[in-house]
Amino acid sequence: MGDIYDNVMELAKRRGFVWPSSECYGAVAGFIDYGPLGAMLKRKIENIWRDFYIIREGYYEIEAPTVGVESIYVASGHVKGFADKMFQCPSCREYHRADHIAEEHGTTNADTLSPKALAEIINGLPCPSCGEIIENADVFYFNLMFQTTIGPGSQRTGYLRPETAQGIFTDFNRLSRFYREKLPFGAVQIGKSYRNEISPRQGMIRLREFTQAEAEIFIHPEHKDHPDFSRYADYTIPLWGQTQQMQDIKPITVSMREAVDSGLVANEYVAYYIALTHEFLTQVGVNGDKLRFRQHLPTECAHYALDCWDAEIFSERFGWVEAVGIADRTDYDLKAHATGSGDSFTVFIPYDTVHHENRRTIVPDMGALGPHYRGKAKAVADALKESAPGPDGATVTVDGDELFIPPDLYKIREETVEVRGEEVMPHVVEPSYGIDRIIYCTLEHAYEEEDVEGEVRKVLHLNPAVAPVQAAVFPLMNRDGLDTIAQALSASIQKHGILAQYDDNGAIGRRYRRQDEIGTPYTITVDYDSREDDTVTLRERDSMQQVRLPISLVPETLSRLIEGTLPFSEAGSKI
Ligand code: GAP
């Protein structure tokens, strides 16, 4: 078997999973089309994700525009800081990411280095495009957002969203009302995000338009215990914490309970979504032996984040690929949008019992302030309300001037007030999934070539729940009524919501190969016995075993096989 990436992509292109986008005009790097089978596979993976997050967790899905006004991305920090470090090769004029070239030549964590430090490393290395030695190249920042203008002749700047998350943050106050202002609550979004990657050379791994599935879970900053933590408390997986990475030792296998209790993972919320992510990824077909969870090193973790973990999937071509990021982002995003928009971005949390507080209010005497301060009286009054007067008076600053206000120009009211609760700015826990990376890794892990009687059998061992075509029906011959029985059977399978392909073209062995290649888990053959005894042969893709069962039982049996509630050995009588 040659390079697995080349083999997987050859199959993916030939059979209609993934195509270069706008190929007839010369495809542009970083954009892909999902063909008929790829689009189906993608939808199924996304729908399993929805089962986890919407149906099970109860976080509803929203759909915000992919174009956002500039103020969103100024507030979020993307306009200023969402940039990669690049250089232009002085010989061939191609642009490249400086940290990637440095890492390819042995520098670790090159993305944390300054442009100056990177320039020192890359000068003297060969350019990956032309092979010439890079000399006197500067490294500079390049913002990854695609900029646009909104409306004709408009000066209003917009950006294609670089992540789906901001659409959820900007809807925070509406979401809070939707959930009746009760923490915790969450919202999810699946959709396209855009990053003008500098030189995407990694197929489906680094795209300029890609699909993210993100959940933003808003929690009380002081209550980070997940209400359903018991579901995953005993879930045990390898975690590669900062300490193990820095000591160069292997990930440690611990339960989520141990991970939180030992301080390896910051809190139950983060541990819960690490475990859920592991369950989701293995369910859609990622090989559990090629999956690890790696904590961000202090140099990688955003300064505001409390804890960050990446789900990394091993690809034979690309090494460990970050497919999901799980982070406790504290109140960074909500605070940023509160400052940017002037809205409050808080939730009113009632206390269990009413509190009583002594409150001191300063009440300016406008009748007395007016003659003293004339046009400035209102500003002085506002400043007084915020001041802390001493026994002789209050000092305030108005328009840059410091003023001393004697006590006869205001009153101090002391009162005991009832306080029923407090305004709280929630913290955000964010699991963020890259769907295209998950799809590529699923295809790579599912791909196998084997020698069957001197012929290469290419198989995609896709999980039946995500396989684009779930069953195929073959009449042994395209005549003698076998075709009519097979067509009727296809129709009754389809009525059960199962996508079944009818195929009467070519030798039966070839038809099996065609279905194996696209990952169809079950095939049914109608033969001459079917006319006599109303039974058919059902074949399982992975074991290639066959059983015989009555035609009338096929749709129900397939449903149970696909949902995993029936072992194949019990699907019929062994042949
Ligand atoms: N809201 C957080 C966020 O966007 P991120 O780590 O930048 O975090 C999340 O992105 C996930 O999106 C990544 O783990 C990765 O799977 C996917 N992703 C990011 N950039 C990508 C790209 N250029 N092409 C394909 N997938 C990408």
Task: List the one residue out of 123, 121, 126 whose CA is nearest residue 102.
Answer: 121
- Greatest Cα pair distance, the chain, in angstroms, is 110
pLDDT of residue 454: 86
> 400, 354, 361: which is closest to 379 by C-alpha?
400
- Any atom of ligand 1 within 6 Å of the Cβ of 209: no
Best mutation site among 161, 193, 212 for ligand 1 pocket (most ligand atoms within 8 Å of CB): 212
Is the CB–ligand 1 distance for residue 195 below 6 Å?
yes
Q: At a CB cut-off of 8 Å and minimum separation 6, what does 254 contact?
A: 236, 237, 239, 262, 264
The dihedrals phi and psi of 506, each to the nearest 5 degrees, come to 90, 180
pLDDT for res 155: 78
Give the C-alpha separation, 388 to 390, whole Å.
Answer: 7
Burial 115-128 (b: 16+ CB within 10 A, else e): eeebbebbbeeebb
- In this predicted structure, what is the pLDDT of residue 575? 84
322 CA distance to ligand 1 middle (Å): 8
Q: How far apart are CA 199 and CA 180, in angstroms?
A: 46
At 497 the pLDDT is 95
SS3 of 516, please?
A: helix
pLDDT for the residue numbered 114: 93
CA distance 540 to 560: 13
Decide whether any atom of ligand 1 lies within 6 Å of the 214 Cβ.
yes
Mean pLDDT by 10 residues, the chain (575 residues): 90 98 93 98 98 98 98 96 94 94 91 93 94 94 96 89 98 98 97 95 94 98 97 97 95 97 98 98 97 94 92 96 98 97 96 93 94 94 95 94 95 94 97 98 97 90 98 96 97 96 95 97 98 97 97 98 96 92
Residue nearest atom 20 in ligand 1 by C-alpha distance: 206
- Decide: 208 and 200 in contact? Cβ < 8 Å: yes
Residue 404 and residue 395 in contact, taking contact as beta carbons nearer than 8 Å: yes
From the list 165, 168, 211, 167, the residue with the least C-alpha distance to 192 is 211
pLDDT at 1: 63
Residue 165 Cβ inside 6 Å of ligand 1? The answer reads yes
Q: CA distances (Å), 566 to each of 470, 499, 573, in order?
A: 15, 19, 14
Tell me, what's the pLDDT at 153?
Answer: 80
Residue owning the nearest CA to atom 12 of ligand 1: 434
Residue 504: the pLDDT is 96
Residue burial 234-251, b: 16+ Cβ < 10 Å; e: rest:
ebebbbbbbebeeeeeeb
* For ligand 1, atom 18: residue with the closest CA: 434
Atom index in ligand 1 nearest the CA of residue 311 equals: 14
